[in-house]
Chains A and B, each alone.
Chain A
Protein backbone atom coordinates (compact mmCIF):
# COMPACT_ATOMS: atom_id res chain seq x y z
CA UNK A 1 0.00 0.00 0.00
CA UNK A 2 1.43 3.37 -0.97
CA UNK A 3 2.27 5.76 1.83
CA UNK A 4 1.47 9.43 2.23
CA UNK A 5 2.87 11.51 -0.60
CA UNK A 6 3.62 15.20 -0.57
CA UNK A 7 4.44 17.53 -3.44
CA UNK A 8 6.59 19.35 -4.08
CA UNK A 9 9.41 18.10 -1.87
CA UNK A 10 11.33 21.36 -2.00
CA UNK A 11 10.19 24.89 -2.65
CA UNK A 12 11.86 28.30 -2.63
CA UNK A 13 9.72 31.42 -2.46
CA UNK A 14 10.26 35.08 -1.67
CA UNK A 15 8.61 37.17 1.02
CA UNK A 16 5.11 38.28 0.17
CA UNK A 17 4.40 35.43 -2.21
CA UNK A 18 1.93 32.67 -1.55
CA UNK A 19 2.45 28.93 -1.75
CA UNK A 20 0.30 25.81 -2.08
CA UNK A 21 1.42 22.42 -0.84
CA UNK A 22 -0.27 19.15 -1.69
CA UNK A 23 -0.79 15.93 0.24
CA UNK A 24 -2.21 12.60 -0.92
CA UNK A 25 -3.20 10.34 1.98
CA UNK A 26 -2.93 6.59 2.25
CA UNK A 27 -5.71 4.95 0.25
CA UNK A 28 -8.87 4.75 2.34
CA UNK A 29 -7.75 7.32 4.90
CA UNK A 30 -10.18 10.21 5.24
CA UNK A 31 -8.34 12.43 7.71
CA UNK A 32 -5.40 14.62 6.78
CA UNK A 33 -3.50 16.66 9.35
CA UNK A 34 -0.83 19.25 8.68
CA UNK A 35 2.16 20.10 10.86
CA UNK A 36 4.93 22.67 10.70
CA UNK A 37 8.44 21.86 11.91
CA UNK A 38 11.02 24.55 12.60
CA UNK A 39 14.27 24.37 14.59
CA UNK A 40 12.96 26.87 17.12
CA UNK A 41 9.39 25.66 17.68
CA UNK A 42 9.67 21.99 16.84
CA UNK A 43 6.71 20.11 15.39
CA UNK A 44 3.45 22.05 15.67
CA UNK A 45 -0.05 21.10 14.62
CA UNK A 46 -1.66 23.32 11.99
CA UNK A 47 -5.06 21.79 11.22
CA UNK A 48 -6.92 18.61 10.43
CA UNK A 49 -9.42 17.92 7.66
CA UNK A 50 -11.95 15.13 7.53
CA UNK A 51 -14.57 14.67 4.83
CA UNK A 52 -13.69 18.04 3.28
CA UNK A 53 -14.27 19.88 6.59
CA UNK A 54 -11.77 21.36 8.96
CA UNK A 55 -12.25 19.45 12.18
CA UNK A 56 -9.41 20.68 14.34
CA UNK A 57 -7.19 23.73 14.25
CA UNK A 58 -3.91 24.74 15.85
CA UNK A 59 -2.67 28.15 16.83
CA UNK A 60 -1.55 29.67 13.56
CA UNK A 61 -2.53 32.94 11.88
CA UNK A 62 -5.17 33.08 9.19
CA UNK A 63 -2.47 33.22 6.50
CA UNK A 64 -2.34 29.47 6.88
CA UNK A 65 -5.32 27.74 5.34
CA UNK A 66 -6.19 24.40 3.89
CA UNK A 67 -8.80 22.41 2.13
CA UNK A 68 -9.65 18.82 1.39
CA UNK A 69 -11.14 17.36 -1.74
CA UNK A 70 -13.69 14.60 -2.13
CA UNK A 71 -10.91 12.07 -2.79
CA UNK A 72 -9.36 13.04 0.58
CA UNK A 73 -6.38 14.74 -1.02
CA UNK A 74 -5.54 17.94 0.80
CA UNK A 75 -3.80 21.20 0.09
CA UNK A 76 -2.49 23.83 2.41
CA UNK A 77 -1.90 27.41 1.44
CA UNK A 78 0.26 30.06 3.03
CA UNK A 79 -0.33 33.60 1.85
CA UNK A 80 1.93 36.63 2.23
CA UNK A 81 4.95 34.53 3.09
CA UNK A 82 7.28 35.66 5.86
CA UNK A 83 10.86 34.59 6.51
CA UNK A 84 9.65 32.73 9.60
CA UNK A 85 7.47 30.48 7.46
CA UNK A 86 10.59 28.65 6.31
CA UNK A 87 10.01 25.16 7.63
CA UNK A 88 9.40 21.52 6.91
CA UNK A 89 5.66 21.07 6.32
CA UNK A 90 4.41 17.60 7.10
CA UNK A 91 1.12 16.00 6.44
CA UNK A 92 -0.22 12.90 8.12
CA UNK A 93 -3.18 10.73 7.26
CA UNK A 94 -5.39 8.44 9.30
CA UNK A 95 -8.79 6.75 9.09
CA UNK A 96 -10.28 9.66 11.02
CA UNK A 97 -12.27 7.63 13.52
CA UNK A 98 -13.45 9.71 16.43
CA UNK A 99 -13.40 8.42 19.96
CA UNK A 100 -10.79 5.78 19.42
CA UNK A 101 -7.15 5.42 18.75
CA UNK A 102 -6.37 6.39 15.20
CA UNK A 103 -2.74 6.23 14.19
CA UNK A 104 -1.42 9.00 11.99
CA UNK A 105 1.09 8.17 9.28
CA UNK A 106 3.35 10.92 8.01
CA UNK A 107 4.56 11.86 4.58
CA UNK A 108 8.15 12.87 3.77
CA UNK A 109 7.38 16.58 4.04
CA UNK A 110 7.82 19.67 1.89
CA UNK A 111 10.82 21.82 2.67
CA UNK A 112 9.82 25.47 2.16
CA UNK A 113 12.49 28.17 2.09
CA UNK A 114 11.39 31.80 2.11
CA UNK A 115 13.99 34.32 0.93
Chain B
Protein backbone atom coordinates (compact mmCIF):
# COMPACT_ATOMS: atom_id res chain seq x y z
CA UNK B 1 0.00 0.00 0.00
CA UNK B 2 1.12 3.53 -0.71
CA UNK B 3 2.36 5.67 2.17
CA UNK B 4 0.15 8.74 2.50
CA UNK B 5 0.81 12.06 4.22
CA UNK B 6 -1.95 14.35 5.43
CA UNK B 7 -1.94 17.51 7.55
CA UNK B 8 -2.89 16.63 11.14
CA UNK B 9 -5.64 19.20 11.36
CA UNK B 10 -7.61 21.75 9.36
CA UNK B 11 -10.37 24.24 10.04
CA UNK B 12 -13.22 25.29 7.81
CA UNK B 13 -16.12 27.72 8.14
CA UNK B 14 -19.59 26.30 7.80
CA UNK B 15 -20.93 26.70 4.28
CA UNK B 16 -17.49 27.06 2.73
CA UNK B 17 -15.66 24.43 0.73
CA UNK B 18 -13.27 22.19 2.66
CA UNK B 19 -10.22 21.14 0.65
CA UNK B 20 -8.29 18.29 2.25
CA UNK B 21 -4.92 17.46 0.69
CA UNK B 22 -3.15 14.13 0.63
CA UNK B 23 0.33 13.27 -0.61
CA UNK B 24 0.83 9.74 -1.96
CA UNK B 25 4.05 10.03 -3.93
CA UNK B 26 4.79 6.28 -3.67
CA UNK B 27 1.46 5.16 -5.09
CA UNK B 28 1.78 2.48 -7.74
CA UNK B 29 -0.08 2.32 -11.01
CA UNK B 30 -2.82 -0.05 -9.91
CA UNK B 31 -3.48 1.51 -6.52
CA UNK B 32 -6.64 3.46 -5.98
CA UNK B 33 -6.94 6.49 -3.72
CA UNK B 34 -9.69 5.98 -1.16
CA UNK B 35 -11.11 8.50 1.28
CA UNK B 36 -12.93 7.58 4.46
CA UNK B 37 -14.01 9.65 7.41
CA UNK B 38 -14.64 8.74 11.01
CA UNK B 39 -16.91 10.69 13.26
CA UNK B 40 -16.04 10.24 16.89
CA UNK B 41 -15.70 6.51 17.65
CA UNK B 42 -18.11 5.44 14.93
CA UNK B 43 -17.08 3.11 12.12
CA UNK B 44 -15.25 4.77 9.22
CA UNK B 45 -17.58 5.97 6.49
CA UNK B 46 -16.64 5.54 2.84
CA UNK B 47 -16.59 8.83 0.95
CA UNK B 48 -15.11 8.40 -2.50
CA UNK B 49 -12.31 6.73 -4.44
CA UNK B 50 -10.50 7.15 -7.74
CA UNK B 51 -7.64 5.89 -9.87
CA UNK B 52 -6.63 8.60 -12.34
CA UNK B 53 -9.62 10.71 -13.21
CA UNK B 54 -11.36 13.19 -11.01
CA UNK B 55 -14.46 11.79 -9.36
CA UNK B 56 -17.59 13.30 -7.89
CA UNK B 57 -20.45 11.83 -5.93
CA UNK B 58 -23.18 13.16 -3.69
CA UNK B 59 -20.78 13.59 -0.78
CA UNK B 60 -17.61 15.00 -2.27
CA UNK B 61 -15.25 15.51 -5.19
CA UNK B 62 -11.83 13.93 -5.57
CA UNK B 63 -9.15 15.68 -7.59
CA UNK B 64 -6.10 13.55 -8.43
CA UNK B 65 -3.03 15.20 -9.95
CA UNK B 66 -1.89 13.98 -13.34
CA UNK B 67 1.23 12.35 -11.88
CA UNK B 68 -0.99 10.74 -9.21
CA UNK B 69 1.37 11.81 -6.44
CA UNK B 70 -1.26 13.80 -4.60
CA UNK B 71 -4.98 14.33 -4.37
CA UNK B 72 -7.51 16.68 -2.80
CA UNK B 73 -10.84 15.79 -1.28
CA UNK B 74 -13.36 18.59 -1.63
CA UNK B 75 -16.46 18.94 0.50
CA UNK B 76 -18.25 21.68 -1.44
CA UNK B 77 -20.38 23.15 1.36
CA UNK B 78 -19.11 21.98 4.72
CA UNK B 79 -21.56 21.62 7.60
CA UNK B 80 -20.97 21.08 11.30
CA UNK B 81 -21.74 17.39 10.76
CA UNK B 82 -18.68 17.12 8.51
CA UNK B 83 -16.42 17.54 11.55
CA UNK B 84 -14.49 14.26 11.59
CA UNK B 85 -11.15 12.58 10.98
CA UNK B 86 -10.55 12.14 7.26
CA UNK B 87 -8.33 9.33 6.03
CA UNK B 88 -6.66 9.11 2.63
CA UNK B 89 -5.57 5.58 1.69
CA UNK B 90 -3.78 4.17 -1.32
CA UNK B 91 -4.59 0.52 -1.92
CA UNK B 92 -4.91 -1.99 -4.72
CA UNK B 93 -7.00 -4.50 -2.90
CA UNK B 94 -7.78 -5.89 0.46
CA UNK B 95 -6.45 -4.43 3.65
CA UNK B 96 -6.74 -0.73 4.18
CA UNK B 97 -3.70 0.86 5.79
CA UNK B 98 -4.92 3.85 7.77
CA UNK B 99 -2.59 6.71 8.68
CA UNK B 100 -3.32 9.32 11.31
CA UNK B 101 -5.65 11.25 9.02
CA UNK B 102 -6.70 14.91 9.12
CA UNK B 103 -8.95 16.20 11.86
CA UNK B 104 -11.33 18.56 10.10
CA UNK B 105 -13.18 20.98 12.35
CA UNK B 106 -16.04 22.91 10.82
CA UNK B 107 -16.84 26.14 12.68
CA UNK B 108 -20.20 27.97 12.73
Question: Which residues from chain A sit less than 8 Å from chain B, CB to CB?
Answer: 4, 33, 35, 42-45, 48, 55-56, 58, 88, 90, 92, 98-109, 111
Inter-subunit contact A103/B49 (CB<8 Å) = yes
Chain B neighbourhood of A43, CB < 8 A: 44, 87, 96, 98
A103 to B34, CA, bound (A): 9
Q: When the two chains form the complex, which single residue of B42, B46, B51, B97 contacts A104, counting CB atoms closer than 8 Å?
A: B46
Q: Which residue of the partner chain, among B36, B43, B51, B93, contacts A102 with CB atoms under 8 Å?
A: B93
Q: What does the 1/0 interface line of B32-43 toward A look like (CB < 8 Å)?
A: 101010000111
Q: Considering the chains assembled together, what is the distance between the CA atoms of A42 and B96 in angstroms?
A: 12
- Interface majority SS on A: helix, strand, loop or mixed? strand
Q: Count of B residues near A, CB < 8 Å?
A: 20
What's the least CB distance linking A21 to chain B, in Å? 13
Taking beta carbons and an 8 Å cutoff, which residues of B are in contact with A? 32, 34, 36, 41-46, 49, 51, 87, 93-100
- Give the one of B46, B93, B97, B98 with max A CB within 10 A: B93
A105 to B44, CA, bound (A): 8
User: How many angstroms from the CA of A48 to the CA of B93 in the assembled complex?
Assistant: 11
Cβ–Cβ < 8 Å partners of A58 in chain B: 95
Residues of B within 8 Å of A98, CB to CB, are 93
Contact B96–A45 (Cβ < 8 Å): yes
Q: State A36–B15 Cα separation when bound (angstroms).
A: 34
> Which of B51, B94, B98 has most A Cβ within 10 Å?
B94
Please determine whether B43 and A108 come into contact, CB atoms closer than 8 angstroms.
Answer: yes
| Contact yes or no, A56 B95, CB < 8 A | yes
Chain B residue with minimal CB distance to A88?
B41
